[in-house]
Structure formats: C-alpha cells, structure tokens
Amino acid sequence: MSVIVRWAPSPTGRIHLGNARPALLNWFFARRHAGKYVLRMDDTDLARSTRAFADGIEEDLHWLGVTPDLLVRQSERTALYDAARDSLIADGRLYPCYETEDELDRKRARARLLGKPPIYDRAALSLTEDDKARLEAKGRRPHWRFRLDGRPVQFVDVIKGAQTVNTASMSDPVLIRADGSYLYTLPSVVDDIDLGITHVIRGEDHVSNTGTQIEIFEALGGAVPAFGHHNLLTDAAGQGFSKRLGSQSIADFRAEGYEPLAIAIVATLTGTSLSVEPYDSLDAIAERLDFSMISHGSARFDPAELNALNARLLHAMPYADAAPRLSAMGLEGEAMWMLLRENLTRFDDIAEWAKLVTGPVEPVVSPEDEDFLKLAKALLPPEPWDQDTWGQWTDALKGATGRKGKALFLPLRLALTGRHDGPELKSLLVLLGRKACLDRLP
Ligand code: GLU
C-alpha cells in the first residue's frame, strides 16, 4: 500500500508555526515512504474562508519547501458530500433536528441541573413526519446530526499508541447546518475516502473527532485510514498559536528574514527527542524523525532557540547555496561569503557586512593610536598577500612598539573596519588587498 497523506488547513487566515507542524510532519512521512501529499483546503466555511488566504497558505507551504502532489478545495467538491449525505440519510444515520440554539442551551442547562452530562437527548429521533411538516411550515429548517453508535471506538494511533474514544459520552455531532452548509467533520471523511488517504496526521486536539469520524468512515463503507495525533506547539507563553489572535505567521517570519529551514526545524523538532539543530534539508529530517520520537507532552516554541538555529544554519551555509541569493543582492565572491557568514543572524545582514570588503568604511582612529597606525601603514608588507601576511605585519608592529593583545589588534580593527567586532582580520586583510588597507590607515 503506498502512503497518501493530506494536510488540511482552513483558509481563514495565514498559517502560523503551529500549523506548520502538521504540514511538515505529513511531508516527512510522505517523503520517508515515497508517498503522495495532498494539500486540501478546508474551505466549507464560506463566511470565513477566502481565496486570498488559500493562495497565501500555498505560498507559505512552498516557501517551507513542501511541494504537494495534488491540491483540492472542499468548496469544489460539494457533490461528493451531497451523495454521502443522501446515503447516510437513507441508512438512518443522519437525522433532521429542529431545535434552536436557545432550546439546545436550555436542554444543556437542565441536564447539568440534574447532574447529567450535557449530551443531546436525541429528541428529534422521535419526531413523526407530521411533526416535521408542522415545524417546517413554521419556517424551521433542520440541521442534521449523525447518529453515533455510542461505543468505545478503538484505534492504534501511529504517534500516541492505543487510543479509545467512547462515543457514548458524546452528543450526536451536527454534520450539516440549518443553511445546508457542511461542518468540517463529514467532508473530511468523504475526501479521505475519495482520495485514498492512508494516514491522517494531525494535532491531538482532533483525537475525539477521530472517534466520530471512524464511525462515519464505517457508516459510509470506506477504508478507515491510520491516524496519528501529534502534540501541539504552543507559543513562548505556553498558549496555543491562533490565526485570529494574530500570532506570528509564517509570512511574518519570512518577512523578518528567517531561513525556511530554521522555521521548519523549530516547528517540527520542538517537543521531540531530536534536538533543535541544523539539518541540511527537509529530507534529512524526514530520514531521522520517527513518530516514536514525538513527545506526548507539550511542545513550547522558544524564540531564542529559533534565532540561534537561524544563525547556525547561515554560519554553515555553503557558497553554492548562498551564491544565487548574493547575486540577487548584487554581491559575489566565495572568499567574502566564507569570511563573513559567521557574523550573520539573518541572511540579508550580509549586505552590511560586505561593505567591510567593498567599502565605504569610516575608519575609527583615536588620537592616542594615530602614531601607531601611521607606523602600521609604513610597515604594511608588499604584495602578494596570503594568510601569513597578517602575522608578519603584526609581528613587525609588536617588535617595533612593544604593543600586544588588545592594544595591538583593536586599533587595527577599528581603522580597517570601523567597528569593534567582526570577521577574522587575517582573512579580511587578504580580501582587502594593500591598496584598500592603505586608504583606511591614517
Ligand atoms: N481543517 C481542519 C483543521 O485545520 C483539518 C483537521 C484534519 O486534519 O482533519 O483543523
């Protein structure tokens, strides 16, 4: 059986780190098993879903490095859901209910008063055809509930192990609203059957839905896929990420200049037994990450860890990977990249650092170092220069002035670069060449 997975975002906002987790965990699983990846837009909520959000999600997913094999939109698949609806109605599994929200609230309140769980009492199942006709004549439109078996539904979760969801303790779920629109539950099952989904990998907030949905798979005669529910990522404060609360989106991280791989690693390896550390590619993570490594506890995002990881990825980035991005910024040169990359926290910082090589640089010369720097200028060795030139030059200066350590090196750094920190001077000197150095020394 070849693996087919799906990631099913609702396009009601841009995706955040918490959404990137299932998006990528599904991708890793598909890659590991040479399977297929379906991007399914859960856009049945017409009031809140927009095409712009859907397009944005596609863009974010590509930026992260995921290329789906197939894109489907639930809004274009209503005929399939209608057919499933009709078959469930014919089998007596889907039944019309006419209670208003107020009536349901009152029922729940009454149940609570009696110390009973606030589960729907299935009163609608005893309505006669006459009752229904009378309600409809009064203008009531039915919503439709799925009649649960009410039993312990068992499944072996590929992440969490054996699970039981007792549907006897749940209300029969509403699958169709009074306006005829579908809630997420039924279309999801219909699509999973139609698209031959073999594994449903999603957040653990869906475990109880899985109990309901397994019953629906069975009622529709579809093959029940394997399920895996991963721990949820929380923000630094321990709160769930939310599209509506404006949690940092993937698009925000992108705009701030983070590497997609850094975001992918943090989104997936936080809360697993693998460390959050550099990997060469998504495939390299896919090879290592096994579902047994996903912890059962929560996974808390740490912005400091993301920053450190982003920097580490840049510090190790081969020139071949950097070159196209450098050239888009009008920069080039392997030696320059290899020298400066260790100073980067974001890729675009390279533009600023490159000025140390290309100029202009405003040399910093303090009055007490002026004579020393003039001597340094006079002692600058003739070209050709190599990695030994810096040592020869500073040895000569040390011999002539008795300066050493910071007193010897800092004035040279300040004059040549205009700053206190930065790349190794030994290599910078070679990149600059004698002429540029003469220009920067007083
Ligand atoms: N649209 C649902 C969500 O975003 C999909 C859940 C699922 O993977 O079945 O929560």
233 and 293 belong to one structural domain: yes
Distance 200 CA to ligand 1 centre (A): 10
196 and 312 belong to one structural domain: yes
What is the C-alpha to C-alpha distance for residues 413 and 406, in angstroms, rounded to an integer?
Answer: 10
In short, whether 225's Cβ falls inside 6 Å of ligand 1 is no
225 burial class (0-12, 13-18, 19+ CB within 10 angstroms)? Answer: buried
pLDDT digits (tens, 9 = 90+) for 282-296: 999 999 999 999 999
Range of the domain at 165: 80-176
What are the helix (H) ranges across 164-206? 185-194
304 and 399 belong to one structural domain: no
Q: Quick one: pLDDT at residue 241?
A: 84
65 and 209 belong to one structural domain: yes
- According to DSSP, the β-strands at 152-157 and 161-166 are antiparallel
- Tell me whether residue 18 is in a domain: yes
- Tell me whether residue 160 is in a domain: yes
CA dihedral 351, 356, 361, 363 (to 10 degrees): 140
Instruction: Categorize the per-residue pLDDT at 247 as very low, low, confident or very high, splitting at 50, 70 and 90.
Output: low
Instruction: Categorize the per-residue pLDDT at 243 as very low, low, confident or very high, splitting at 50, 70 and 90.
Output: low
pLDDT digits (tens, 9 = 90+) for 80-138: 999 999 999 999 999 999 999 999 999 999 999 999 999 999 999 999 999 999 999 99
In short, whether 207's Cβ falls inside 6 Å of ligand 1 is no
Q: Whose CA is nearest to atom 6 of ligand 1?
A: 8
Q: What is the CATH number of the domain that holds 134?
A: 3.90.800.10
Q: What is the CATH number of the domain that holds 311?
A: 3.40.50.620
- Tell me whether residue 181 is in a domain: no
304 and 197 belong to one structural domain: yes
The 226-230 sheet, strands edge to edge: 70-73, 36-41, 4-7, 199-203, 226-230
48 and 155 belong to one structural domain: no
- Tell me whether residue 359 is in a domain: no
- Tell me whether residue 60 is in a domain: yes
Q: Which of 356, 321, 317, 316 lies closest to 336 in space, CA to CA?
A: 356
Name 82's Cβ contacts closer than 8 Å, sequence gap at least 6: none
What is the C-alpha to C-alpha distance for residues 430 and 411, in angstroms, rounded to an integer?
Answer: 18
Tell me how far CA of residue 154 lies from CA of 157, 283, 355, in angstroms: 9, 33, 63
99 and 151 belong to one structural domain: yes
- Tell me whether residue 349 is in a domain: yes
- 167 pLDDT higher than 70: yes
Q: Quick one: pLDDT at residue 248?
A: 83
Instruction: Categorize the per-residue pLDDT at 244 as very low, low, confident or very high, splitting at 50, 70 and 90.
Output: low
- 200 pLDDT higher than 90: yes
Enter the tokens of residue 298.
């929560």
302 and 205 belong to one structural domain: yes
Q: Whose CA is nearest to atom 10 of ligand 1?
A: 9
In short, whether 191's Cβ falls inside 6 Å of ligand 1 is no
- Final residue in a domain of this structure, among 146, 176, 206: 176
Is 243 annotated in a binding site? The answer is yes
- 409 pLDDT higher than 90: yes
What is the C-alpha to C-alpha distance for residues 198 and 5, in angstroms, rounded to an integer?
Answer: 6
In short, whether 206's Cβ falls inside 6 Å of ligand 1 is yes
136 and 250 belong to one structural domain: no
- Tell me whether residue 358 is in a domain: no
pLDDT digits (tens, 9 = 90+) for 307-356: 999 999 999 999 999 999 999 999 999 999 999 999 999 999 999 999 99
46 and 118 belong to one structural domain: no
Distance 100 CA to ligand 1 centre (A): 27
Distance 274 CA to ligand 1 centre (A): 26
**What atom of ligand 1 comes closest to residue 200's alpha carbon?**
8
- Final residue in a domain of this structure, among 122, 148, 176: 176
- According to DSSP, the β-strands at 143-146 and 94-97 are antiparallel
383 and 410 belong to one structural domain: yes
pLDDT digits (tens, 9 = 90+) for 294-316: 999 889 999 999 999 999 999 99
Q: What share of the chain is helix, strand, coil (3-state, %, to 5)?
A: 50, 15, 35
- Tell me whether residue 362 is in a domain: no
137 and 67 belong to one structural domain: no
| Counted domains in the chain | 4
Q: How far is CA 78 from the centre of its chain?
A: 29
Enter the tokens of residue 217.
């798979």
